[in-house]
Amino acid sequence: MCFEWIYQTERYKERDKTPSENNGFASTVADAFRRGGRKMGLVLGIFKPELSEFQKKKLLYEFSTFFDLNKDGTLEWHDFEMARQKICDMSGWQVGSPRYLHTHELFKEIWRKLQDDGDENFDGKISKEEWIKMWQTFHKQHLEQLKKRKDDVTTEPSLPVWLEKYIEYKFNLLDRTGNGFVDVEEYEYVMAEFGIPPKQARNAFTMFSVNNDRKVDMEYFRHLCTEYYRSDDPSSLGNFINGKLDFTD
Q: What is the mean pLDDT of residues 202-212?
A: 97
pLDDT over 70 at 202, yes or no: yes
d(CA 195, CA 88): 18
Q: What is the pLDDT of residue 24?
A: 54
Residues 6+ apart with CB under 8 A from 62: 228, 229, 242
**Cβ 113 vs Cβ 162: under 8 Å:** yes
Once rounded to an integer, what is the mean pLDDT over residues 142-171?
77
pLDDT on residue 41: 52
- pLDDT on residue 56: 96
User: With pLDDT > 90 as the criterion, what percentage of the chain qualifies?
Assistant: 50
Indicate where the chain has its CATH 1.10.238.10 domain(s).
50-240
Helix (H) or strand (E) holding 127: strand 126-127
pTM for the full model? 0.76
Q: What is the pLDDT of residues 48-63, one digit of tens each?
A: 779 999 999 999 999 9
Give the percent of the chain with pLDDT over 70: 77
* pLDDT at residue 200, as a whole number: 98
| Interatomic CA distance for residues 75 and 64, integer angstroms | 9
Mean pLDDT of 67-74: 94
Residue 243, by phi and psi: left (phi above 0), alpha (psi -120 to 50) or beta?
left
> Residue 239 — φ and ψ, nearest 5°?
-60, -20
User: Residue 96 above 80 pLDDT?
Assistant: yes
Residue 190: other Cβ atoms inside 10 A: 20
In this structure, the strands spanning 74-75 and 126-127 are antiparallel
Please provide the distance, in angstroms rounded to a whole number, between the alpha carbons at the two ends of the chain: 22
Cα 174 to Cα 105: distance, rounded to the nearest angstrom: 19
Q: What are phi and psi of 216, to 5 degrees?
A: -95, 90
99 versus 71: the higher-pLDDT residue is: 71
Q: Mean pLDDT check: name the lowest of 22-26, 101-105, 186-190.
A: 22-26
Mean pLDDT taken over the chain: 82
Q: With contact defined as beta carbons under 8 Å apart, do 157 and 142 qualify? A: yes
CA atoms of 143 and 47, how far apart (whole Å): 6
Over residues 112-153, the pLDDT tens digits come to 988 998 999 999 999 999 999 999 998 888 788 777 776 555
Distances (CA, A) of 108 to 58, 93, 221, 223: 25, 18, 23, 25
Domain range 50-240, its CATH number among 1.10.238.10, 1.10.3720.10, 3.40.50.1000, 3.40.50.800: 1.10.238.10
Is the pLDDT confidence value at 162 over 70? yes
Please determine, for residue 8, whether its predicted confidence score (pLDDT) is greater than 80.
no
List strand residue ranges (DSSP E) for 66-124, in order. Answer: 74-75
